[in-house]
């Protein structure tokens, strides 16, 4: 899976968190395998999506890439250099290239700092704009790039709306002119109409500055919209990885299909035709994951072999990998598939052609 233009390459990344018991002699009694053998490549200039439900390890991977967590095993290569071997100066240089935008701008922005201080801080810390006048000028530019009026420089986070706060968080991430930004649930906490604004902003910025994103999210529609490639995670492992068009049109892993089937689409006509196959069971505890394929207790296709062996990712198409021994077999129960694939085919056939134009309720651009 190596590519010439790889910005980041993860090789068998593992991150285990110890579970400790005891008040005086805290003993490690178990390990949570938050990330358990994950390999993928993030290509320069792309938006790479990481989706999965809580506890699947997607945020931990983001934190490892930011060098905020020390991996338990495996390697992370940034422009072919192992980030674990970086010394202090190299790490500082690395951090200029790699920035983050988090979910809740209210808790990731210091409530006692003004916008000027928040956005200007990286410039100060890295000694790029030691002079306050120059820094203020740069902060104003960054705000304007992120669609905020320059007069907000004196505001505190609580004086702004959620959308504005997220824009400030993005302006701060851009301050050091990074190559790479981890967007960890960056639009999840926002209202629908504001979410679309921030998605658009992130897309524009990527184009304008040639940024690379790791976009971590649980909203499949948003990830599909922003990303070029996407990996689906379940309990610390990647279960499927492909480019977005392939993954969403031709999902192979039963878990990916279950996720897609769970997302209701805003069209009652389609929803009425869709088979609502609800996947049973809960997400197991990462402290005590099931044997073999972690998804087997919930999987409609699971058999004895799935309980024993951990399935490896195998190629199922062009640049498309899935970790399921069943993907090669005869297609599963039709009812199971019907809820998932070919949603466009389920529209009334007469409307199919005009679909695009009639259903996007277009206003002429003002």
Q: Which residues bind other proteins (CB under 8 A)?
A: 53-54, 161, 163-164, 191-197, 199-200, 218, 220-222, 224-225, 244-245, 248, 258-271, 276, 278-280, 282-283, 343-344, 347, 356, 359-364, 366
- Rounded Cα distance, 127 and 265, in Å: 48
Pair of tokens at residue 208: 């304008």
Question: Least distance (Å) from other proteins to the CB of residue 53?
Answer: 4
Question: Least distance (Å) from other proteins to the CB of residue 326?
Answer: 19
Pair of tokens at residue 241: 């990885």
Question: Least distance (Å) from other proteins to the CB of residue 77?
Answer: 29
Quote the strand ranges of the chain, DSSP E: 6-21, 27-43, 47-51, 73-78, 81-82, 98-101, 180-184, 212-217, 229-234, 237-243, 314-317, 320-322
Choice between 163 and 236, CB closer to other proteins:
163
- Which of these, 103, 70, 261, 293, lies nearest to 183 by C-alpha position? 103
Q: Is 190 exposed, middle or buried (0-12, 13-18, 19+ CB in 10 A)?
A: buried
**Cβ atoms 171, 152 nearer than 8 A:** no
Choice between 76 and 187, CB closer to other proteins:
187
Question: Least distance (Å) from other proteins to the CB of residue 364?
Answer: 6
Q: Is 341 exposed, middle or buried (0-12, 13-18, 19+ CB in 10 A)?
A: middle
- Rounded Cα distance, 230 and 178, in Å: 22
Choice between 80 and 354, CB closer to other proteins:
354
Question: Least distance (Å) from other proteins to the CB of residue 341?
Answer: 11
- Rounded Cα distance, 10 and 242, in Å: 16
3-state secondary structure of 80: coil
Choice between 145 and 270, CB closer to other proteins:
270
Pair of tokens at residue 173: 């991430």
- Rounded Cα distance, 67 and 61, in Å: 10
Choice between 198 and 313, CB closer to other proteins:
198
Choice between 85 and 349, CB closer to other proteins:
349
Question: Least distance (Å) from other proteins to the CB of residue 234?
Answer: 10
Question: Least distance (Å) from other proteins to the CB of residue 217?
Answer: 11
Question: Least distance (Å) from other proteins to the CB of residue 202?
Answer: 11
Choice between 76 and 171, CB closer to other proteins:
171
Pair of tokens at residue 37: 């053998």
Choice between 66 and 235, CB closer to other proteins:
235
């Amino acid at each position: 899976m190596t590519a010439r233009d790889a910005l980041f390459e993860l090789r068998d990344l593992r991150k285990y968190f110890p579970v400790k018991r005891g008040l005086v002699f805290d003993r490690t009694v178990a390990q949570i395998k938050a990330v358990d053998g994950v390999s993928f490549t993030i290509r320069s200039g792309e938006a790479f999506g990481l989706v999965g439900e809580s506890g699947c390890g997607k945020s931990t991977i983001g934190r490892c890439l930011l060098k905020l967590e020390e991996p338990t095993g495996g390697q992370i290569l940034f422009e072919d250099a192992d980030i674990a071997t970086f010394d202090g100066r190299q790490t500082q240089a690395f951090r200029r290239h790699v920035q983050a935008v988090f979910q809740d701008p209210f808790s990731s922005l210091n409530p006692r700092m003004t916008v000027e201080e928040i956005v200007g801080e990286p410039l100060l810390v890295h000694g790029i704009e030691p002079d306050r006048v120059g820094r203020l000028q740069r902060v104003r530019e960054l705000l304007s790039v992120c669609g905020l009026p320059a007069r907000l420089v004196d505001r505190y986070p609580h004086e702004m709306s959620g959308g504005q706060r997220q824009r400030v968080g993005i302006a701060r991430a851009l301050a050091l002119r990074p190559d790479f930004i981890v967007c960890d649930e960056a639009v999840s906490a926002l209202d629908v109409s504001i979410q679309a604004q921030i998605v658009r902003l992130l897309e524009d910025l990527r184009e304008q500055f040639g940024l690379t994103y790791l976009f971590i999210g649980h909203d499949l529609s948003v990830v599909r919209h922003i990303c070029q490639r996407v990996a689906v995670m379940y309990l610390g492992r990647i279960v499927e990885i492909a480019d977005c068009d392939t993954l969403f049109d031709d999902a192979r892993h039963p878990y990916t299909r279950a996720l897609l089937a769970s997302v209701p689409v805003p069209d009652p006509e389609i929803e009425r035709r869709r088979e609502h196959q609800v996947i049973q069971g809960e997400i197991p505890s990462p402290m005590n994951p099931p044997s073999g394929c972690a998804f087997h207790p919930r999987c409609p296709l699971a058999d004895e072999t799935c309980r024993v062996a951990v399935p490896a990712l195998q190629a199922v198409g062009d640049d498309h990998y899935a970790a399921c021994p069943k993907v090669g077999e005869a297609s599963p129960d039709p009812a199971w598939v019907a809820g998932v694939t070919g949603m466009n085919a389920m529209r009334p056939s007469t409307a199919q052609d005009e679909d695009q134009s009639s259903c996007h309720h277009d206003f002429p651009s003002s």
